[in-house]
Structure 1
Amino acid sequence: MTRHLMRLAQAARRFGLRHALRTAVAVVATQLLVTALHLPQGYWAVVTAVIVMQANLGGSMRAAWTRLAGTAVGAVFGTAAAYLGGQSLPASGLAVFATLAACSAIPRLRESSRVAGITAIIIILGGHPDVPAVVLGFDRFLEISVGIVTALVVSLTILPARASRALSHGLAKLFEDVASLFAVVVEGRIREDYPERHVFALKDRILRTLARCRELRLEADAESRDQGESALRAMLLFRGERLFEHVLGMDHVAEEWRGKGLHRHLPQEMADLETAGAALLTALAAHLRGTSPLPEVAALDAAVAKAREKLGDMRRDRAPAAYDLSEVMHFFSFMHGMLACAADARETVARIRSMEAL
C-alpha cells in the first residue's frame, strides 16, 4: 500500500496534478463569488485567479502583488485618460505612455508594467458612454482584487505548497550535481580521458537548477520575512554558485589539458580529495532534504592536508622544473580549483552550523 501511495504521489508531482486541482478550485470559487457579488465583468476575476495561482504560495504572492499593483496603476492612468479624451487614439497613447513611464520610474512596479498597460487600454477601449470612467476603473480593480484574494486563500488552504521547501530540494539537487561534476572532471584528469558528453549534460542540468533556485529564492522570501531564513537561503545559493564556478574553471583546464603531466606525481592525493569533497557535498544535499545531520569535515580536512603536503614536497624536489610552462600552469590552476572547492564546501558547512545554532 505504501509503495502504491508513493507511486501515486510521484505521478501527481510529475504531471502537476496538485497545481491543476488547486487552480480548478480557485476558478470555481471565483466564479461563485463574482456571481454572488453581481460583478459586471466577473470573468476578469476568474482570469486573474488562473494567472495568480502558481505552483507554490510564494509564487502566488509575487504574482498577486504584480497584478494588483499593475491593475491599480493602470486603472488610475486609464481612468484619467478616458475622462480627458474618451475613447480617442490620443487618449489611448497617453494612457499607455503615462502608465509605462510611471512603472519604469518606480523599481518595485517594473514587473507590473505589462499588466498596468493592459488595464489602462481595457478601461479606455472597453468603456461605455453611459458608464463613467471612474466607475469602470473601480470595477476593474474590484474584479482583479476578488480573483487575487480567492487565489491566495486557495493557495493557503488547499494542498498548500511552500517555495522554501522546493528551494531546499533545489539547492540539494544543485550540490549533488556539483559534486558529480567535480568527481567526473577530476577522475577524467586522473585517467587522462576527458568525458565531454557527460560533463556537458551535468553543466546544462546545473545551469537549469540554478535558474530555478534563483526564482524560488524570491518566492520563498515573499512567503516569509524571517531574516535568518532569508540569509541562510541567500548564503546557500551563493555558495552553490561559487562551487560551480570553481568546477567550471577546473573543467576549462581539463578540456585543454592533455597527455602526461604533473598530476601523475600525486594521483592518490587527488583521488582522496575528490572522494572527500564529493562525499561532503552529497551529504550536505541530504541534510538540506532533511534526511541526515550536517556532515563532518574531518575527512575533507585530512585530504586537503595530504594534498598540500604533497604539493610542498613537489616544490622542494623541483618537480615542476622538468615540465614546460603550459603544463605547470594547467596543473596548478587545476589544483587551485580543487582546493578552492574544498575550502568553499567546508565554509558552507561551517556557516550552516553557525546560522542553525542561532
Structure 2
Amino acid sequence: MPALSTLWSRLGAAARRFGLRHALRTALAAVATQLLVTALNLPQGYWAVVTAVIVMQANLGGSIRAAWTRLAGTAVGAVFGAVAAHFGGQSVVAAGLAVFATLAVCTAIPRLRESSRVAGITTVIVILGGHPDIPAVVLGFDRFLEIAVGIVTALVVSAVVLPSRASRALAHGLARLFEDVASLFAVVVEGRLREDYPERHIFALKDRILRTLARCRELRLEADTESRDKGESALRAMLLFRGERLFEHVLGMDHVAVEWRGKGLHRHLPEELAALEHTGAEVLTGLAAHLRGSGPLPEVAALDAAVAAAREKLAAMRRDRAPAAYDLSEVMHFFSFVHGMLACAADARETVARIRSMEMA
C-alpha cells in the first residue's frame, strides 16, 4: 500500500508538472462543444469549439474571467458589426468605422476594456465574413450564440470535470511566497553576519519571489471571481499585501547589505541578530505550512522574545555610546539593516494575529 500511494503521488505530481489535467479538461470541452453545435446545427459551430478552448483556463475563476471577457466582447462586436453591415454593407469603410466605434466604446467603459480585442475581431467577422443573402442581424446573433455555447460548455466542464479552484492555487502560491521570503530573509542576514554576501543565491530568490507575486496577483482576481465571500476576499488581500510588505523590507535590507561591507556594529550583538533571524524565518515558514493546510498557525512567543532581546541590546549600545566609535556611514547602514529586521518581525507577527482573528470570526 505505501508503494501504491507513492506511485499515485508521483503520477499526480507528473500530471501537474506537464499540465495533463488542464489538457484533458480542455479536450473534453472541445469534444462536448463540437457534439453540441452539431446537434444544434449551428452554421459555423467551429467558433464555439475555438471559444471553449480559449475560455478553458487552469482553474474555475480563470475560466469565468475569460468567459466574461469573450462574451462581453462578442456581444459588443456583434452589435456594432451588425449595425455597420446593415447600413454600409461589406465595405472597408464600414469595417473601419465599426472597429473604431467598437474599440472606443470598450475603452471608455472600464469593465469592457479587457474585451476590446475580442469585440474588434467579432466586428470584422460579422461585416466581412457575412453573406449577401443573410441579414447582418442574423449573422451577429449567430456569432453570439456560437460563442455562448462554447462558453457555457467550457464553464460546465471546468466546474464538473476534475475541478481546480483559484483559491486553492492562491493559498499554495502565498505559501510559497512566505517560504521564499523567509529563505531570502535568512540568507541576507546570515550573509551580513558572516560578511559573505551570496549574490547569485539572493538574485535567484528575488527573481522567484517576483514571479510568485505576479502569479498571486492574477490568482487573487480569479479567486474573487469564483467566490464573493467578503471575509475570504479580505483574507486573501491581507495575505498578499503582507507578503509584498515583507518582501519590500527584505529588499531594503538586501540593498543595505550590498553597500555595507564594513566590519563593525553588528559584531556587538551577533547572538541577538541570529536569534531574530531564526525566529522570524521560523514564523514565516510556519505561516507557509498553515496556508498549505499542513500545520497550525505558528506561535510568536519566541519571536517576541528575540525582538525584546535585540531592542534591549540596542538600548545598551546607545547607553554605552558604542556607535560613537564608528563613522556615520557604518552607523546608518547598521541601524537601517536592524530596522529592516525588526520591521519583518513586526509584519510576521501582525500577519499571524490577523489570520487568527479572521479565522475565529
- Give the TM-score band, short-chain normalised: over 0.9
Question: For residue 73 of structure 1, what is the aligned residue in structure 2?
Answer: 76
Question: 2-side partners of 1:345 and 1:30: how far apart?
Answer: 48
Aligned match of 2:53: 50
**Cα distance in 1, alignment partners of residues 86 and 318 from structure 2:** 81
Write out aligned runs for 1:1-358 (5 A).
1-358=4-361
Structure 1 distance, partners of 2:302, 2:112, is: 50
Q: Deviations over 1:66-91 (max 9, x none)?
A: 00000000011111111110111110
Counterpart of 2:136, as a letter, is: A
Q: Distance in 2 between matches of 1:68 and 1:261?
A: 63
For 2:39 and 2:119, locate their aligned partners in 1 and report how far apart those are by CA, in whole Å.
27
Percent of aligned positions that are identical: 85
Distance in 1 between residues matched to 2:84 and 2:255, nearest whole Å: 57
Task: Give distance in 2, aligned partners of 1:89 and 1:261.
Answer: 74
Relative to the length of structure 2, the TM-score reads 0.99
State the alpha-carbon separation in 2 of the partners of residues 16 and 295 from structure 1.
33
Deviations 1:317-352 (A, max 9, x none): 000000111000000000000000000000000000
1:105 to partner: Cα distance: 0.6
Task: State the Cα deviation string for residues 96-139 of structure 1 (Å, max 9, x = none).
Answer: 11100000111000000000000000001101100000000000
Give me the whole-angstrom Cα distance separating, in 2, the residues matched to 1:159 and 1:118: 32
Instruction: Encode CA deviations 1:274-310: one digit per residue, 9 max, x unaligned.
Output: 0000000000000000010111110000000000000
* Shift in Å, 1:261: 1.3
Instruction: Give the letter aligned to residue 205 of structure 1.
Output: R
Stretch moving more, 77-86 or 274-283: 77-86
Q: Which runs of 4+ in 1 moved over 4 A?
A: none
**Offset at residue 259 of structure 1 (A):** 2.8
Letter in 1 for 2:68: W
Q: Which runs of 5+ in 1 are unaligned?
A: none
Match of 2:293, SS state, is coil
In the alignment, the residues of structure 1 paired with residue 330 and residue 209 of structure 2 have an alpha-carbon distance, to the nearest angstrom, of 29
Count of residues in correspondence between the two structures: 358
Aligned counterparts of 2:65 and 2:111: Cα–Cα separation in 1: 11
Alpha-carbon distance in 2 for matches of 1:300, 1:184: 18
CA–CA distance in structure 1, aligned partners of residues 264 and 64 of structure 2: 55
Q: Which amino acid aligns with 1:144?
A: I
Provide the aligned C-alpha RMSD in A.
0.4
The letter for the 1-side match of 2:80 is: F
CA distance in 1 between counterparts of 2:97 and 2:79 reads 12
Residue identity opposite 1:110 in structure 2: R
TM-score scaled by length of structure 1: 1.00
Write the deviation string for residues 177-233 of structure 1: whole angstroms up to 9, x where unpaired.
Answer: 000000000000000111100000000000000000000000000000000000000
CA contact (8 A) 2:262 2:330 kept: no
Partner of 1:356, secondary structure, is helix
Distance in 2 between residues matched to 1:248 and 1:32, nearest whole Å:
54
